[in-house]
Amino acid sequence: MNFRRGKNTFWLSIMTLMLIITAGFLVVFIVRIITLGAPVLSWKFIVEPPREAMTEGGIFPALIGTFLLTALAMIIALPLGIFTAIWLTHYGKPSQLVNILHIIINTMAGIPSIIFGLFGMTIFVNLLDLNVSLLSGSLTLAILALPVIINNTEEAIRSVPADFSEASLALGATTRQTISKVVFPAALPNILTGAIISVGRVAGETAPIMFTAATFYSRSLPHSLQNEVMALPYHIYALMTEGTHPQAQVPIAYGTALVLLLLVLLIDALAIIIRSYMRKKRQW
Amino acid sequence: MVDRQIWTSNLNLWFGKNQILHNINLEIYKNSITAIIGPSGCGKSTLLRCFNRMNDFISDMELTGKVYLNGKNIYAPKTDVYAVRASVGMVFQKPNPFPKSIYNNVAYGLQIQGKYSKSEIKDRVEESLKAAWLWDEVKDRLHHSAMSLSGGQQQRLCIARALANKPKVLLLDEPTSALDPQSTAKIEELCLALKNSVTILIVTHNVAQAGRISDYTAFLYLGELVEFEKTEQLFTVPKDKRTEAYLTGVFG
């Protein structure tokens, strides 16, 4: 009996230790980012462009750039992803084609993001001649987000009880009406939550925009889709690798990292709030 | 001679290689309640779903023979399937109102047809809720979620939703098997009241229920129509041994 109790205590201690180590990493990481980044944070840091060869000033163009890249990527990816998922769930009869599509989508989800960057460069920048631009970067990010959006939308649609579709069809509705009036509204909360989480991911990506959209320094905001843009993750990368005054620039990089981190946390928090609100409202 | 609302001629149905229905010849009379009884898996629900072509969604379904609804074969090549489904109401085993308001649940069938004005729909919603004996309970909260209703109320809402299209036929697929006895009694009474305006087919594995409310009973066994008679007759002097065995509870 004592032996068994001893074994139990032993494993419990091991688990507690692992938990402490995991949580410890997270705490150290957050504390470190905050202590290094917080000193440069200020309202001016948010709303001013960089000055004096990036040794002073703020990150406003990068913030706006990230916002534009992400928003445009979502505008492109959401309709593509949602309609693809609807086709896969409702129109694609179980067949070899559908299986192959699923394999392609899942493979895409596993491709390293730098490969998407290269792909975006060869297709959008070179082949389609869109230049290193906001548009090329958004398209690349959209492709990166697609598999996540498709998988998430499919799951959301499949979780809507079949009873609802049956009732709708039995009343004489077409498949299209059933999807647009019954299935899609019921799946929407989950589709939205997934979309918001992928926004967080897209906003933080560096590799896909490195060759397709991002620029080290731009004095003005982009005024067309053909312009290069600054972006938060790339700004960090540039400050840490290409800076000529590291003493002044490294703190700015940490400040930028802190802003990016807060932004992603904020977006995820929004997703959680929407989800719990919708779950409370949902009653099936 | 009573008028026929539905009749089938040599109806056979397969799911893949399994033959589910064998050569069914059945007549359903106007403004009557016909119960379809039989043990689980005998094809009752599948037969019911032949009458509004709800089996069409099963990809490996095959069907031969004819099903006449109001004198027209609904499996004829040029049939408007959506019109057929709109003209036949269906209520399912588990109450399945949409996650919408009470009002929008009943209005749905009319809204999707796109040919009714808002005021017509409003009148029809009220009429249907009254016909399903739900109006008094919900008239003050038409725009609340249908999910806030009790199970029995939800099922009557589903009946109201089916009635809104003014169907000539109402198909009920074990409509009370998920309900408590009180709600069940209310729906049975409702069926008796509704048969003056609509022909009712009810699938049930509650033999007593068939006896209480139906005018005619069809006994289905292993996909075959074993016996079809006036309920009184079938229950008192069944012609077939299998019917008698089922009614007396030898198998089921």
Whether residue A75 sits in one domain with residue A214: yes
Whether residue A156 sits in one domain with residue A228: yes
For residues A219-245, give the mean pLDDT: 81
Domain that holds residue A8: 2-40
CB contact under 8 A, B98 and A172: no
CB-closest option in B85, B111, B113 to A170: B85
Whether residue A256 sits in one domain with residue A193: yes
Whether residue A194 sits in one domain with residue A253: yes
Q: What is the pLDDT of residue A282?
A: 63
Number of domains comprising chain A? 2
Angle in degrees, CA A36, A38, A39, rounded to 5: 85
Whether residue A64 sits in one domain with residue A120: yes
Report how far residue B165's alpha carbon sits from residue B121's, in angstroms, rounded to the nearest whole number.
10
Report how far residue A84's alpha carbon sits from residue B49's, in angstroms, rounded to the nearest whole number.
31
Whether residue A156 sits in one domain with residue A28: no
In order of A22, A33, A97, B161, the CA distances from A28 in angstroms are 10, 9, 48, 59
Report how far residue B168's alpha carbon sits from residue B86's, in angstroms, rounded to the nearest whole number.
10
Whether the pLDDT of residue A243 is over 80: the answer is no
Residue B201 has a CB neighbour count (10 Å cut-off) of: 26
Spatial CA neighbour of A218 closest among A38, A43, A57? A57
The CATH number for A97's domain is 1.10.3720.10
Whether the pLDDT of residue B82 is over 90: the answer is yes
Over the stretch B168-217, which tens digit does the pLDDT of each residue have?
A: 999 999 999 988 999 999 999 999 999 999 999 999 988 899 999 999 99
Whether residue A150 sits in one domain with residue A16: no
CB contact under 8 A, B92 and A186: no
Spatial CA neighbour of B204 closest among B49, B35, B42, B6? B35
Q: What is the pLDDT of residue B175?
A: 92
Percent of chain A with pLDDT over 90: 36
CB contact under 8 A, A164 and B54: no
Whether residue A50 sits in one domain with residue A12: no
Report how far residue B196's alpha carbon sits from residue B61's, in angstroms, rounded to the nearest whole number.
34
Whether residue A25 sits in one domain with residue A87: no
Residue A58 has a CB neighbour count (10 Å cut-off) of: 23
Residue B147: its chain A contacts at CB < 8 A? 283-284
CB-closest option in A93, A94, A170 to B90: A170
Whether residue A149 sits in one domain with residue A121: yes
Q: Is A185 on the interface with B (CB under 8 A)?
A: yes
User: Which residues make Cβ contacts (< 8 Å) with residue A234, sequence separation at least 6?
Assistant: A62, A206, A209, A210, A214, A216
* Mean pLDDT of chain A, nearest integer: 87
CB-closest option in A170, A177, A284 to B54: A170
The pTM of this model reads 0.81
Whether residue A277 sits in one domain with residue A145: yes
User: Which residues make Cβ contacts (< 8 Å) with residue A72, sequence separation at least 6?
Assistant: A134, A135, A138, A142, A225
For residues A153-176, give the mean pLDDT: 92
Over the stretch A193-206, which tens digit does the pLDDT of each residue have?
A: 888 888 888 988 88
On the 0-12 / 13-18 / 19+ scale of CB atoms within 10 A, B102 is: buried
Q: What is the pLDDT of residue B28?
A: 92
Whether residue A175 sits in one domain with residue A35: no
Predicted complex ipTM: 0.91
